[in-house]
Amino acid sequence: MPVLAASSSPSNRSYSVAVGVILVFAALEILAIAIHFGAVYRAERVTLPPTKAPAPAASVKPGGTTTTPAPPQATAPSSAALSASDRLLKEANDLRERGDTANALARLQDASQRDPRNPQVLAEMAAIYESIQLYDRSNETWKKIQDLGPSAGSLYELADMKLRVGAAATPSPGVAMDTAGKPLDAEGLPEGSVFGVTNIETEQVSDPDAETNFRLKIGIKKRDGVAIDHSKLRIMVLFYDLLDNDKVVATDADVNYEWMNPKHDWGESNPETLIVTYLRSKTHAITSEAALSAAAAAVTPGKNSSRSKKRGESAGSTDSLDSARRQYLGYVIRILYDDKLQTVRAEPARLINDAPNPSVSP
């Protein structure tokens, strides 16, 4: 049986081969172009400079002059830094009370770096420097408080007095001084002062309705032979409580003061005696603002200058729960004449630095 075989002509096969070769070369050329441009693109990305934030535009003032924005100002200490400073101050006080002066000073230096305008930290540092007879550093630190101005409160006045007297003039142990470290002279008054405190007596008062009831008898002496202007004299007696066995706060107890001599002009007797009573009843109810007002005594010639809060009297809303968390801590007595601090007496002595500044002036 005959077999038919299909065959193609030689011309058709040559055409197919030619077309195939052309397609292969075209594909290779396209691949080469893609590789070339890919390499160029990667090289350009590597050499591009990093993108910077646009600079603030310069402002133009009338007249054609331009001004460049000022660099950002340094920010104030953060609240975290301030709280750390307070914590370090408390640790330093605890260490100082235990007699560990070196570590207390280290804590204070750390606190000062965090909050360089904290007068409490600076005052504590100055006191420690003085106690270890580094008088130059003590004076430098008191000067920092003085540079803060009246914003440092009572510590500004203390720093001013320290710098006027001079820490280097602090006498050796055994010489009488007031609580602020100012030496007493033969009259029992701080050197250079017109007024001083000669003695303080504490007398407990029997009162079954009171949680705490006592009175201070404060002998206030005028320097002999010195004429005075009563209008320039201020006497402040401020009491403080301990809240939750930790925080020093102005008292909210009932405070009364009166002069033993109704005239109290230092003409009939010298010293004159000021009697100040602290009363916290078991049913205590009084606001801190009213108590603080009553805690400041002001001398007025020819008057008894008695101011008091009656037991149970309230000047506003009360907080019996807050009162229950308080206990008596101590007092600070300051005498100023002609706006100059004459003397400071405090019990305990640490209240000079730890007590909050009074918000009410006498």
User: Taking the mean position of all CA atoms in its chain, how far away is CA 302?
Assistant: 41
Segment 62-107, tens digit of pLDDT: 444 444 454 444 445 555 655 788 888 888 888 877 777 778 888 8
Segment 134-185, tens digit of pLDDT: 778 888 898 999 899 988 888 888 888 788 765 544 444 566 778 877 788 8
Burial 323-357 (b: 16+ CB within 10 A, else e): beebebbbbbbbbbbeeebbbbbbeebbbbbbbee
Nearest Cα to 142, choosing from 109, 110, 164, 113?
164
Segment 309-329, tens digit of pLDDT: 444 444 344 455 566 688 899
Are the C-beta atoms of 351 and 357 separated by less than 8 Å? no
> Which H or E run includes 219?
strand 210-222
Where does the pLDDT of residue 122 fall: very low under 50, low under 70, confident under 90, or very high at 90 and above?
very high
Contacts of 43 (CB under 8 A, 6+ apart): none
Residue by residue, DSSP assigns 222-256 as EPTT----GGGEEEEEEEEEEETTTEEEE--SEEE
pLDDT at 241: 93
pTM above the 0.85 mark?
no
Are the C-beta atoms of 290 and 315 separated by less than 8 Å? yes
**Tokens, residue 336:** 């100023």
Is the alpha carbon torsion for 76, 81, 82, 88 positive or negative? Answer: negative
Where does the pLDDT of residue 36 fall: very low under 50, low under 70, confident under 90, or very high at 90 and above?
low
- Tokens 């402002």 belong to 59
DSSP class of residue 268?
A: S
Q: Measured in Å, how far apart are the chain's first and last C-alpha atoms?
A: 142
